[in-house]
Amino acid sequence: MGPKVLLVEDSNSLAILYKQYVKDEAYDLFHVETGKDAKRFIQHHTPQLVILDLKLPDTTGEEILDWINEQEVATSVIIATAHGSVNTAVNLIQKGADDFLEKPITADRLKTSVALHLKRTKLESLVNKFESKFDRPNYHGFIGSSLPMQAVYKIIDAAAPTTASVFINGESGTGKEVCAEAIHKQSKRADKPFVALNCGAIPRDLMESEIFGHVKGAFTGATTDRKGAAMQAHGGTLFLDELCEMELEMQKKLLRFLQTGSVTPLGSSKELKGDVRIICATNKDPLKEIEAGRFREDLYYRVHVIPITLPPLRERDKDIATLAKHFVKLYAKQDGKKFTGLTAETEARLKNYPWPGNVRQLQNIMRNVVVLNDGTKVEVSQLPPPLNTVSVNTTAVTKAPIKPVTTVHMTAESMAPESITPAPVDAERHQATAPVTQFESASPDEKTHHAPTTHAPTTHDAQAMPNNVARAEEYVIKPMWQVERETIQNAIKHCDGNVINAAVLLDLSPSTVYRKKQQWETEDDLQTSE
């Protein structure tokens, strides 16, 4: 038996046609006509893919999708929809559907889409099997079973039994102190003190006293002797968070302590021996801080023995819903609320958000929801802005690496998106000329009808242009709306009509591409009727 594909379609004639389309494919297509039969089939023979019609005799495709999400069935779902229901299909994608097919469905479109999603399902299954071998959903305060977190757990396992210094790097809110505590709890020092110190929150005048302590009379207000963090952590672990915020003079004294294991309290001449394991953390790039002269290179190499980089929440896809449910249940129990989890649409919305504040931001949002709302499952409308308003595009994250724009050069006959070369900036006018597109060579007539009025290129302009656009007069200069339309339409055609894949190639939100496609089709219909 090959992979199982379930077609939920109330039209027998369409079902026969689709079966004919895929009769030679390496999977088995099963057909049911009602939502009740679909549920029964899924419960007894979990399919790898479900092709789901929106309108059924006894229910709707949306209700079946909600049921699949509630039951946490490991299957992909493709929505089959008529032209007028594209907006509904887009909404269902936000609720967890993987794609949609617009009727009438062609043979090539059906076979391509099914093959693509079956391949993805197979890859996800392999990843899940791999993760299950090392799966630890919880680890000393961490919650998450994603591959990035499993890698972190493995490093902690290896580093914890040693006395080597650990340097934790990660964005704010990723759990650097949780990581430090996990190392301490996994080490042989677990029964000894764990002392955490945030170097960015301590005034520079008090830093030395906080770390090394002071004696009575060392400064105004020092009425008693006081142990510093280094001696408080004797036999255990000292965690120095935001180490790059420490002043250079204090970095020098810290380096001496790390090299000798001796501290001299402020105002005293007596050295004290301390047995401390050092863990440091920062949300800055230490190498850039060294280049800027704000961080000592010798201290960096002293503490940067075992580096651990904590992944941002946006890279921990499967952990986002797990963490959100944990926080919801935790705060509901504390505040006497009835919340037990999230709706499928809320889960999808959380997964599509970039989380610039990482786990700390997610925690605060769930706290906000529980305090201000009532219910059993968190709805999208209960989320604070911007999560409750629009579908969030993850490409808007400023902290994420910026992807370079790749120019694809293809022939006009291939109908694929062609390159658009930005026009050079005229140094004398400080304005950018109109963009030059390379879709086709322009005839004199086409230039008359399409090219907007612009200044004639000067010698300076020609010298400033790259070789591939030096002869700009040979190409059509089109308005941006026309360039946008042709680019998107060509991308969709290049992807055999798959709007989702086209949106990925264009680095756009699928809903944006759907909306523009519908708008252009409506305009074309109006022009035809006139």
What's the CATH number where 355 sits?
Answer: 1.10.8.60
Q: What is the pLDDT of residue 198?
A: 93
**Beta strand pairing status for 436-437 and 420-421?**
antiparallel
Residue where a domain terminates, one of 357, 382, 407: 382
Please tell me the predicted confidence (pLDDT) of residue 1.
Answer: 63
Confidence category of residue 128, pLDDT binned at 50, 70, 90: low
The count of other CB atoms within 10 Å of the CB of residue 218 is 17
In a domain, 168, yes or no: yes
pLDDT confidence bin for 49, thresholds 50/70/90? very high
207 and 329 both lie in a single domain: no
Q: What's the rounded Cα separation, in Å, for the pair 366 and 326?
A: 9
Residues 147-157: pLDDT tens digits?
Answer: 899 899 999 99
The amino acid that residue 450 corresponds to is H
What pLDDT score was predicted for residue 134?
A: 58
Name the band, by pLDDT with cuts 50, 70 and 90, for residue 322: very high
247/362 same-domain check = no
318 domain residue, yes or no: yes
My answer on whether 163 and 270 are in the same domain is: yes
CA distance linking residue 260 with residue 265, whole number of Å: 15
CA 35 to chain CA centroid, Å, is 34
Instruction: Among 382, 413, 442, give the residue marking a domain's end.
Output: 382
pLDDT band at 83 (very low <50, low <70, confident <90, very high): low
For residue 417, tell me if it sits in a domain: no
In which band, very low, low, confident or very high, does the pLDDT at 268 lie, cut at 50, 70 and 90?
A: confident
* DSSP three-state, residue 378: strand
Share of the chain above pLDDT 90, in %: 42
Task: Return d(Cα 342, Cα 333) in angstroms, integer.
Answer: 15
Reported as a single tens digit per residue, the pLDDT across 484-509 is 888 888 888 887 787 777 777 787 77
State pLDDT tens for residues 91-117: 788 788 888 888 888 899 899 999 999
**What H or E segment, with its residue span, contains residue 79?**
strand 76-81
For residue 361, being part of any structural domain is answered with yes
pLDDT band at 474 (very low <50, low <70, confident <90, very high): low
Residue 421, pLDDT > 60, answer no
Q: Report how far residue 324's alpha carbon sits from residue 73's, in angstroms, rounded to the nearest whole number.
A: 20
What does pTM read for this prediction? 0.56
Asked whether the predicted pLDDT for residue 144 surpasses 60, the reply is yes
pLDDT per residue as tens digits for the range 162-213: 999 999 999 999 999 999 999 999 999 999 999 999 998 898 888 989 999 9
366 domain-assigned:
yes
Comparing CA positions, the residue from 35, 29, 1 lying closest to residue 14 is: 29
Q: Is 418 helix (H, G, I), strand (E, B) or coil?
A: coil
Burial class from Cβ neighbours inside 10 Å (0-12, 13-18, 19+) for residue 406 reads: exposed
Residues 307 and 319 reside in one and the same domain: no
Q: pLDDT (tens digit, 9 = 90+) per residue, 59-74?
A: 988 899 989 988 888 8
Same domain as 271, residue 166: yes
Give the span between the Cα atoms of 201 and 468, in whole angstroms.
55
pLDDT at 529: 61
CA atoms within 13 A on the CB side of 133: 6
Same-domain pairing of 163 and 284: yes
Q: What is the pLDDT of residue 473?
A: 47
Span 6-27, average pLDDT? 90
Co-location of 295 and 195 in the same domain: yes
What interhelical angle do 499-506 and 480-494 show, nearest 10?
A: 130
Domain count, the chain: 4
Q: Is the pLDDT of residue 437 over 50?
A: no
Name the residue among 419, 428, 405, 332 with its Cα closest to residue 375: 332
Question: By three-state DSSP, how is residue 313 classified?
Answer: helix
Q: Which residue type is seen at 84?
A: G
Q: Assess whether pLDDT exceeds 50 at residue 458.
A: no
Residue 78 bridge partners (DSSP): 51, 99
Strands 49-53 and 4-8: parallel
**Residue range 283-295, pLDDT digits in tens:** 999 999 999 999 9
Shared-domain flag, residues 113 and 72: yes
So what's the pLDDT on residue 434?
38
Question: What is the Cβ-side half-sphere exposure of residue 161, based on CA atoms within 13 angstroms?
Answer: 3
pLDDT band at 475 (very low <50, low <70, confident <90, very high): low
Contact 151, 205 (CB under 8 A): no
* Boundary of a domain, candidates 279, 311, 343: 311
Q: Are residues 267 and 167 in the same domain?
A: yes
pLDDT of residue 84: 61
Domain-located, residue 298: yes
Task: Give the C-alpha separation, 221 to 233, whole Å.
Answer: 24
Q: How does DSSP classify residue 435?
A: P
Residue 445 lies in a domain: no
Predicted local distance difference test score (pLDDT) of residue 270: 85
- Is 127's pLDDT higher than 90? no
Whether residues 374 and 283 share a domain: the answer is: no
For residue 503, the enclosing domain spans 486-528
Mean pLDDT of the chain: 80
* Cα 202 from Cα 179, distance rounded (Å): 22
The answer on 57 and 31 residing in a single domain is yes
Look at residue 450 and tell me whether its pLDDT is greater than 70: no
Decide if pLDDT at 412 tops 70: no
The answer to whether residue 472 sits within a structural domain is: no
168 and 117 belong to one structural domain: no
Do residues 149 and 290 make contact, with C-beta atoms less than 8 angstroms apart? no
